[in-house]
Amino acid sequence: DAKTTQPNSMESNEEEPVHLPCNHSTISGTDYIHWYRQLPSQSPEYVIHGLTSNVNNRMASLAIAEDRKSSTLILHRATLRDAAVYYCIHQMGMRFGAGTRLTVKP
């Protein structure tokens, strides 16, 4: 069963970069990594996804390790609005793990 491991919680200061790690050692070669976040009292929302190469979009960057067993979501300048639970999941099954609760301090 495809599983991901993330730290339970992380803290950041506003306007500083945040690196959110995820281990996915059982990932298969064709399995994409997706990141979602869930703001308080809202549904999860898509952040970014990738297969092998690093990916950038307007919300974040995704750095994928060369062996694909881990990845890091990078928020370049955290804002208070980025406080949320962040989930990395395998595309195979789209099952959510416990996620990382990010707190952003002003």
Partner 1 sequence: DAMVIQNPRYQVTQFGKPVTLSCSQTLNHNVMYWYQQKSSQAPKLLFHYYDKDFNNEADTPDNFQSRRPNTSFCFLDIRSPGLGDAAMYLCATSRSLVGLAGGPGELFFGEGSRLTVL
What is the nearest approach in angstroms of partner 1 to the Cβ of residue 11?
A: 18
Which CB atom, from 95 or from 105, has the smaller least distance to partner 1?
95
17, amino acid identity: P
What is the nearest approach in angstroms of partner 1 to the Cβ of residue 43?
A: 4
For 23-82, the DSSP string reads E-TT--TTPPEEEEEE-TTS--EEEEEESSS-EE-SS-EEEE-TTSSEEEEEESS--GGG
What is the nearest approach in angstroms of partner 1 to the Cβ of residue 23?
A: 16
Which CB atom, from 14 or from 96, has the smaller least distance to partner 1?
96
